[in-house]
Amino acid sequence: MEPRSERVTWRTLLGFLVLAIAIAAVAIPTATWFDSSTRPLVIRFAVTLFTAVVLFRLVRAVRGDARVDEKSPADLATRPRAVHVSLDPLLQRLIGELRISVRWHVVPPSLLERLRALSMQQTGRLPAELVPQPGRRPTWQDIERVVEKLERPS
């Protein structure tokens, strides 16, 4: 742990002094404006405000020195990493060309097979949209969902 320099300590104490002067500059005219029975309440409120700010600063300093918010190397090592997956440029170009010409028509079998192979290669499993089912062919919405899943890092 690195020792704190005296400059930081004096700067903090100077900041507390400036804060006390600012609170007093507001509290003294306010206290004189009220009658004598409510003056102690105004002074107590000013002291409470100053004490709360000082305690907040001290808690932050202690948390920083104790390294409460830091992650341990073990936590960092066990946290899953986001891996960026890029699609095959040929597949992206083919999808872009086919979207323009035959948007709501049949998905070509070559595109379907290429997307299945790419899904198996990158994720190790076949998405539900691409599983062959009797009597149902994948739609362009299914293809777009699969492409978005593959483009999005998981």
What's the number of domains the chain is made of?
Answer: 2
d(CA 132, CA 115): 13
User: Is residue 34 domain-shared with residue 54, that is, in the same domain?
Assistant: yes
Q: Would you say residue 130 lies in a domain?
A: yes
User: Is residue 55 domain-shared with residue 95, that is, in the same domain?
Assistant: no
Among 50, 77, 104, the domain-final residue is 77
- Residue whose entry in the numeric block shows the structure tokens 């600063």: 57
Residue 6 has φ and ψ, to the nearest 5°, of: -65, -30
Cβ 118 vs Cβ 150: under 8 Å: yes
**CA 43 to the chain's CA centroid:** 42
User: At 47, is the secondary structure helix, strand, or coil?
Assistant: helix
Q: Tell me: pLDDT of 121 over 90.
A: no
Average pLDDT over residues 47-60: 90
Q: What's the pTM value of the predicted model, to 2 decimals? A: 0.42
More confident residue, 21 or 68: 21
More confident residue, 18 or 106: 18
pLDDT class of 25 with cuts at 50, 70, 90: very high
- Percent of the chain at pLDDT > 70 equals 84
Please give the residue range of the domain that contains residue 60. 6-77
User: Is residue 10 domain-shared with residue 54, that is, in the same domain?
Assistant: yes
Three-state SS annotation for 86-139: CCCHHHHHHHHHHHHHCCCCCCCHHHHHHHHHHHHHHHCCCCHHHCCECCECCC
Q: Would you say residue 93 lies in a domain?
A: yes
